[in-house]
Amino acid sequence: MPDNKTVELKILKAILCIYIVLCIIIAGLNYGYASKATPEAAAFITWFWHFYENWIKTIFIIVCSFLTLRIVSTSKINTMRKRNLIGFIIAALVVHIVTPLLLNNSELYFFTMPLPWTTTPLQLLRSDSTFYISRFPVWGAAGVLAALIFYICISIIVLIGTLLFGRRWQCSTLCLFNGFAAEVFEPAIPLVGKNKKLNKKTLEGFSIFRWASLAIAVFFTLWWIMFLSGTSIGGNISLMGKVENYKYLTTELLMAMFFWVAFIGRGYCYYCPLGTVLGLISKIAGQRIITDKTKCVQCGKCNETCPMFINIKDNAKEGKAVAELRCVGCGHCVDVCPTRTLGYSTRFLKWVSRKKKVTIEREIDRTVE
């Protein structure tokens, strides 16, 4: 008889398969067939797409978060992972359920990834853009304004949160594109085979691809900013929108799913343009993995569990903090460390920790007196 964890893992893998298949089918129908279908068929495709993206996706996140916690649970407390999953559940409920109901707009998830990840919000500022023309009849002027305000609020929340909590804030707590899947489906990824260990040359290749991806995203962003400002530039507004859509479907959506099937959950995170920008901001925030809380026993579990293949072990041997650009702050290394040597920190979190320590010491002094 298979044990409970084996059964739960099979269920998790089955849900991930369903999620991937539905994504491909719906994306194909929406981007390829809807424009050629009858008005009734197109309306149904759009409705099902929104229902899937909002309600079904949220249900998957909630159910699979509980399954993942049960599968990975041991005698040790997975504090960081629990916080990640709670964050994603809250983000999904707010972005996919509560806010769409309040604003009567089922497409707000378009606006949850700040620049330079997508220029969709910039396209909405131009009345002759393909995106604006397709959305205005559905949303109206008030709906367009509400979507833009929602986007600005999300961008501010992500920026301030990253300055306080590092890249972890977006990539391991709020990201509803790839970050959530990497955490929620983590025990089930990859669907085929086992996690692939990356060698130094492969990591260097990803590094080059990361900067190329950022350059492309910045190009699209600058093009739209210049176009909106009235600067005379080359290119066709309709063509630029289509090219960015194809970029999203291929190098982002399909590639992310390929990584889930055959590689690792965080595959896309290696070259996500928003993640790269947030990684640079995290440098300002002082994000780091502390390695000297106790004595490191060099068990290597931190390196084994790190989804970004960062060499934490060698740094921990000498008690050096790890401040790596590609660190998503998931905290898996912190949870798995048997001697509690590791910790996640930023300047803000360090300040909070000091304040808390001072408060406790004062309370102890008062008790003694």
The pLDDT tens digits of the residues spanning 176-191 come to 999 999 999 999 999 9
Q: How confident is the model at residue 365 (pLDDT cuts 50, 70, 90)?
A: low
d(CA 244, CA 176): 19
The per-residue pLDDT for 324 is: 92
C-alpha 356/C-alpha 363 separation (Å) is 11
With bands split at pLDDT 50, 70 and 90, how would you rate the model's confidence at 297? very high
Tens digit of each residue's pLDDT (9 = 90 or more) over 58-86: 999 999 999 999 898 764 567 899 999 99
**Residue 2: its pLDDT value, please?**
58
| pLDDT over 60 (residue 10) | yes
* pLDDT interval class at 174 (50, 70, 90): very high
| pLDDT value of position 197 | 79
318 compared with 31, residue with greater pLDDT: 318
More confident residue, 36 or 306: 306
* Predicted local distance difference test score (pLDDT) of residue 1: 41
Give the burial class of 23: count Cβ atoms within 10 A of its Cβ; 0-12 exposed, 13-18 middle, 19 or more buried: middle
Report the chain's mean pLDDT, rounded to a whole number.
89
Average pLDDT over residues 2-21: 89
Tokens of 368: 């003694």
* DSSP-assigned states of every residue in 186-255: GGG-SSSS-PPPP-HHHHHHHHHHHHHHHHHHHHHHHHHHHHHTT----S-HHHHHHHHHHHIIIIIIIH
Mean pLDDT (whole number) for 331-348: 94
Reported as a single tens digit per residue, the pLDDT across 190-243 is 998 887 777 888 888 889 999 999 999 999 999 999 988 888 677 788 888 888
- pLDDT at position 29 is 84
What ranges do the domains of the chain cover? Answer: 4-280, 285-368
363: pLDDT strictly greater than 70: no
Interval 85-107: pLDDT, tens: 999 999 999 999 999 999 989 88
pLDDT of residue 30: 79
pLDDT at 327 exceeding the cut of 80 = yes
